[in-house]
């Protein structure tokens, strides 16, 4: 299963916000397919850590909801995250 920024693979928009609900919790790490946001200002928050620029949450196991926020100006190419099902236990 994958999630992505709005309009992906085109640039996301200004003043966007969304919450990705992790129902039942996740037990596998995030596989970052692409991550390109305006550093510092457009951030994805996973486990209370903010990610921006080209530094996505590679290998992070989300313990709660994932939050996305973009500001009012510069936009990046966006992001696409998938669960690395190959890494999940049998």
Is the CA virtual torsion 36, 40, 43, 44 positive or negative? positive
Q: What's the rounded Cα separation, in Å, for the pair 47 and 60?
A: 9
Looking at residue 89, its pLDDT comes to: 46
What range does the domain containing 11 cover? 2-87
Higher pLDDT, 4 or 90: 4
Q: What is the CATH number of the domain that holds 13?
A: 2.60.120.290
Q: What's the structural domain count of the chain?
A: 1
- CA 87, 22, 50, 2: dihedral to nearest 10 degrees? 60
**How distant, in Å, are the alpha carbons of 18, 22, 32, 56 from that of 45?**
11, 13, 14, 10
pLDDT-based confidence at residue 90 (cuts at 50, 70, 90): very low
Looking at residue 27, its pLDDT comes to: 72
Task: Read off the pLDDT of residues 19-54 as tens digits, 9 standing for 90 and up.
Answer: 998 776 557 899 999 999 999 999 999 999 999 999
């Amino acid at each position: 299963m994958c999630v992505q920024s709005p309009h992906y693979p085109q640039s996301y928009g200004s003043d966007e916000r969304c919450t990705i609900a992790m129902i039942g919790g996740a037990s596998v790490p995030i596989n970052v397919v692409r991550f390109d946001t305006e550093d510092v200002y457009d951030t994805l928050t996973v486990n209370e850590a903010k990610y921006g620029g080209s530094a996505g949450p590679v290998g992070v196991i989300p313990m709660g909801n994932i939050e996305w926020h973009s500001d009012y100006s510069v936009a990046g190419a966006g992001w696409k995250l998938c669960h690395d099902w190959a890494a999940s236990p049998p």
